[in-house]
Structure 1
Amino acid sequence: MSISFLKPIYLLLLIPLMLFLWFGGKKTKYTERKGSVLFLRAFVIIPLIIALCQPQFVQRFKGQSIIYLSDSSQSMQYTEGFEDWIRESQSFKGKNDQWAVLAMGLDTQLMNSFESNNPVNFANVQVKRDFTNIEGAMKTAHGLLPRDSNNRIVIISDGYENVGDSLSYAKILKANNIPVDVYPLKIGIDTEVAISQVSLPSVSFAGQRISVEIELESTVNTSGVLSLFMNEQLIYNGEVNISSGRQKTVFPVEIKGSGFQRVTATIQPKADTIGQNNKAQGLTFVEAAPKVLLVEGSRGVGQSLIDVFAYNGVDVDPITVNQFPNSLEGLLNYKTIIFVDVPAYFLSDTQMKNIKNFVDVIGGGFIATGGRNSFGVGLYQDTPLEEILPITMEVENEEEMPGVDLVLVIDKSGSMSGEKLNMAKNAGVSALDILTEKDRLGLITFDHGYTVDFQLTPTSEKDRLKNIIQGIPLGGGTSIHPALEKAVELFDSSSKNKHIILLSDGVEGPQNYEPLLEKMRDSSITLSSIALGDDADIRLMEYLAVNGGGRFYDVRNVQDLPGVFAKETILAGGNYIIEEDFVPSVVRSSFTPFSSGLPEFNGYIGSTLKHQGEGIIFTHREHPLYARMQYGLGRTVAFTTDTFGMWSKNFMQGADFPSFWMDTLSWVSGRGNYGDISAAITLKDAGAQIDILVGEPLDEDESIQLSIIDEEGNRENIVLSAASSNSYRATTPALSQGIYFINATRKQGEQIRALSMNGFVVPYSKEFAIENLKSSSNMLEELAKATGGRILTRPSEVFNANYNPVRRSVDISWIFILLSLLIWPLDIAFRRFAPTVRLPKIKKKENTPEEQIEAGEDAMSRLLKAKKGRHKNN
């Protein structure tokens, strides 16, 4: 035992006090009664100074303070009992030890405090049992532990933590010298079957045939009866074989009714232990099927989408791009417009502005898909189409793009004499000027034969190549086929984008081009053709372009030729088309388009995601493959690969292709709501993450309000935080099993400008997930190791830990304050009534005779000097 001071600096106040007493005591006026008062006053002040120093009575405390955290979540009913283990361990505590008990689930309940030694009645536990939050319980225990004690936490649990992160909080306990001992409990279940998930489109249309995907999980090989209900109506009932592990079963279901519709799946396994995880639900919002305008860039490329939509009851009007309506009124009968490999240069400015107004003002949907004629190669840049899409036509990391190998096949027959050949030469030079350092250019000229003027050559030799182009001589007849065959050979093993531009003004004899065109398609070589003048073989040139995957130009004015070449060179796609095999990555967990596995694609159009766009799927080069965005009152989607098998053959042949496009149509067509607001829900931890997207940033007097409603009609407002100028995010508290609806509104004052309603399903508690029904002792062992704790096996180990006794301090300032208060009345009484107390006088020392003589002489000398001074003054 000892005494210490928390603030010893205040002891320095004693120095001026003692000096004051010393010098005050030497003065004559204090030698009487006042001197006694002075010293009595000092005895009042000194205890106050000591109290300012906060004196502590310190002793070594040898007892322990232990808090039991007893897991009371639902999964604990399948473990061995622990109540008797806790009670037995308490019989081993020392006389200075103390204990408390906290029950934990999602929250905590103090079952027994340190001040009480009553037996714990675990039957009275009232925590929320749907989840296990060990981190939260540790925080509560930390707050209850006394500051100056030998503290420990003892966790009794199966170790399955489905809320929080206890290992992160363990660092705080370690820093505060609070070890965590663990007593892991094993769940006694070996045979278990569960329905992990029911997946279906969040939005569907009446009459649509959707795929309901049931994911089963099992610890054994068994069988069972699977039942499927649409609302309360049984739509499937049959026996299924169940394999150990995870498996998925897909059922086609025709959607009926309207509004929110519930799909419920149940399983009755032959081998099973618990029933809480044998049921799961899904939710879809059913609305009237939209009418779709599907626009093809070339005839036939939209057939796969037409088939998907028609099969699912969607009313589709397919047209070619030259049939696109010229007025906004012509679009108002449709809910969504879909472009399939449509180039912007086939549309007028008015038509593109009408599409923008259709989305922005009318609230329609717009989907653009890829191909060799869309997005960047379709000249979407700086048009209303680029403005409304979630991507820009610029390509990030252009230095990584493959570039283009371009071969010009130019007619030099006699009919090309004069201005035609000169313009053809200028056109070739304009194409060369547009190509970049990554590109290569080749030139073949033909008449009745052909000449390879130069092989594929880097554009760094631009001056030499220009001279060759300018020197093209005039020839004789017209023979196109051999020149095209040679052009295909020039590409050989090229890894770049491969393109041919054919120019001719004449007619050749009958030829079979199909084998050559098939070879070009197999080698990913594309061909565009330019028929020059009135005498050109337009049918042949158009046939070659259409079947060669390129574009056909009918040029009657020779002055237009350089511009056509320049445009075609840009469209060749050196900075846009990436033809490489890749497997995409899905970055948004709430969107699962590839339930059968990620397909391989063979190419796409490069682009860049806008900051307000929502990237869903990305390529191996981190370019957007599938992105979407809210624009004004409507929504838009960009799919930068194709839908007709050129780069997406594997995807089209897979089972996910129809559901992918029905989900896309559902999203872009809206949910029967209105305005520029949409919501995406992702189940996360014990609750849900809700992302709200708006088309335009909020004005100063606008706000976003979000409410969540459970099946019983209980409503709760959720606080949103801004993620960007166009998106907001909220996280709900823990949600129990059931169906929830959300209501998001964009308000200006009290006026609702936009509304989005949605719903989602929270499955059975994670406590019954099969992954929880396995031992999770590894996490508990890591927790003990991180805090310097132990893994307990016997009750007797709880209180026998080695520890260094802490020094317990007791503040005794109050004693000195009390002492000062007791002396203070004595001081007052003494000053008023006490007799005078004389202080002893200091006896002066007497001088010796010699000292007296010297002192006398000194005095005489001073008197003589004074006398002389007066005489001088006189």
Structure 2
Amino acid sequence: MGLEFKYPYLLLILIISAIVLFLFIKHSKGYNHIEKIWITCIRGLVFTLIIISLATPQLVFKIDERNVVFLVDSSASMIGTQDEILSWIEKGVISKREKDQFAIISLGKNAAVEQSLNVNKDVIQELSTNIDKYDTNIEQGIQLASSIFPSNSNGRVVLFSDGNETVGNVLDAARLLRQRGIVLDYIPITRHFGQDMAVTEFSVPSSLYEGETVKLTMKVESNYAANSKVRITLNDEEIIEKDVKIKEGTNLITFSHEATETGFYIYKGEIAATGDTFAENNHLKAISNVKGTPRVLVVQSEQNEGVSEALISSGLIVEQILPQQLPSTLSGYLRYQSILFNNVAATDIGEKKMNLINQAVKDFGTGFVMAGGENSFGLGGYFKTPIEELLPVDMEVKGKQELPSLGLIIVLDRSGSMEGDKLSLAKEAAARSVELLREKDTLGFIAFDDRPWEIIETAPITNKKDAIEKIRSVPAGGGTEIYSALEAAFNRLIPLELQRKHIILLTDGQSATSNDYHSLIDKGKKTNITLSTVALGQDSDKRLLEDLADYGAGRFYDVVDDTVIPSILSRETAVLTRTYIVDEPFYPTIHPNFDWDPLFKDGVPEMNAYIAVTPKSTSQTVLSSNKEDPVLSEWQFGLGRTIAFTSDFSGKWAGNWAKWEIWPHFINKLISKTLPSFNSEPYTVHVENKNGQTVIQLQSSSSDLNPIETVVVSQSGKKVNSSMKITAPGRYELVMDQDPGMYFISIKQLSEDGDEKLYKTGFTIPYSDELLLKGDNFSLLKEASNITGGKQLTKEKMAFAPIPHFSVKKQSITSLLIFIAFLFFFLEIAIRRFGLPNVTSLFRKYVKPRQHLIKDTEVPKLRKKIRTESYSSKTIEVKEFSPKFKDTDKENSNRNIEDRIEDNSKRNPHDSMKRLLEAKKRTNR
């Protein structure tokens, strides 16, 4: 056991306290010499105890238990070494003592505990935790290892690795181990690399012009020679395939390609190699932005060549697709400068694709136009979708008081197969439908499994918030029985006096019973009840559901993408109220607008119909109806501009507009107003990896210091967090921590005149260096272990060898010293207040003199003497004590003297002797 101080320098205060005590002895008055000595000693003791307490003293106990943490590199470069490492650990554990403990941790980009610290000798048979194997972060592994050692104890970390770290700094971690007295030892593990080829570089110019020939350069590293095939794809379409002979070492391959279209070009260079160790390093991507004639994407369900022809005639490049063909990646939208939705329903798209379009418009300046029709705006199911967010209008109609009375019952399958996202989206869809209804509309909600559950009784809505909460609280569970739930819904609606009554059935399964559905629907038809059905998933009874919708005069939806469920229900709710379509011929009112005035200077033709919407507060209305509803509205959404035209392009609703001589110019104006204005000289982008983080370097030839705003988005449309700083005039640096893949960046810069300059480009983060062909780096492991006083272990039993620094347990005694100091402090106050004689007399009062006391060993001899001694020729008879002795007056007078002696001897031998002599005198009388 030892003693140590946490803040030993505070002990210097003892010198000051000694000076204070010296001055007290020399100059104090009013105390006699003895009192002064007592006060000085006690005060000095109090000072000493308090100052020692401030220095935080700790008793130190040595602990001979050895704690060992085995740290196993399980990254991709260590594939095939697991059995070898676990065998080494198992042999090492055999040599541990009974109280020694060990743990096992595996590390990659992150670290995880495989076996917690324990004294057992059982070793796990495999490393099974889920870690990211495509990086090596030894630093994080060491940090986790040090955290599982018992508090205030040290031990040994045994590292199994090849020494190639791609993230973190093992030397920094080793310095922290040294501060805790933990030793880092290592076992070098040689990587078992087989044959492997890797595409280490693939580059194209970041900016091109239409018609320009682009040079593609691919760099391949290989540890063997072989004949391979190289493929180059452009926007997922193969453009080059070539057989090449790869030699061992570095190979440089070049190709050329003509940029015939504008927009983002995403090239992918890939080498086909059989028997490779890593397939992940066989390809890389590169991005180029080709400038030239703007490209427009026209999305429409019905063939309407008039729109495309009008745009092509104005010199635009047009690509026409169906809604189902919309791209599922962000890069698919960034190829276009503007997107046109011509009478497209949200139920044909899904919210995932809507989110990507929203991202392209908001962060990359892509334009967007929506034209009306029976499948567009509110009737298309766009209520509360990402498309509604980017448009200058809301889907709700401000004139809801004109809508007919409506009764809606939603019948939702809540069986066990619906559990998860499917049920969550269905409940969210029902909630949106509630928000579209008026307060006086009638709503019912029935959830069913093997029986119906009426969650919301069919009645006029009084509290939307309460209804939505009830819908969202429905759990999953049970089987599937459709008929009884559908029957309950019909029975609730039949007696109600409403103008429109509708039932929406959503299920992902097949009914457990077969009943006469047609008779039930016929019964409902007598009171104008209609029925729509939604088939969720492949296991649903689509034939039955389609038949029910057809017979019930409703619509059938076959859902493949679950994210369209909310749009389906909001569309169904909107379709019920046909007054969303304003079908009254009118002349649109023209609102002054600098860009549109030249087109409308001679007035506009009559229009037949449009879809009623509500303008957003910051939007600009260019044309409005005689009911003040917007017909043509625009606004700025992020970096992009969007337009809503609530009439149609087919001429059915637009009326005489389709016959108007400037009709093609009007369509072209809609698109040209949304085309982004990109600067012709973009920033150059350079990507590099620094200590596990991706660093994006942006450089402009202008070399100015104007601030810029950047947005980085992944291929899936997810915004990436990044921090930016200026490193030099015209040079900026973004730091981000992201996985390998493709990313897009938009850059907005404000000039000194206040003008905005917009750039957009992309870059790829290559695969980790973990997958590169590298040698071992055992020198790094040796350097790290030397910092802690460790070494390379050559034998298994060395894992539990004595640790250079004993583990210790520390116990603070500060509280005890302060308690003792206060006791002496109170004593010193008493001496100064009452004087030393009074204090000492107080102690003497409770302490009796102990002179002439009979020793305890003499009492038995005295007892024997009394038994045999006679007084006046008479022997005293001593009676033995009995538990049954009764304490009467007579017996008290004859009480045995021996019992008295025993009783008194327990107290004080002197007092006992005195009372014994008095008893003898009384007997002699």
TM-score (norm 1): 0.44
TM-score by length of structure 2 reads 0.42
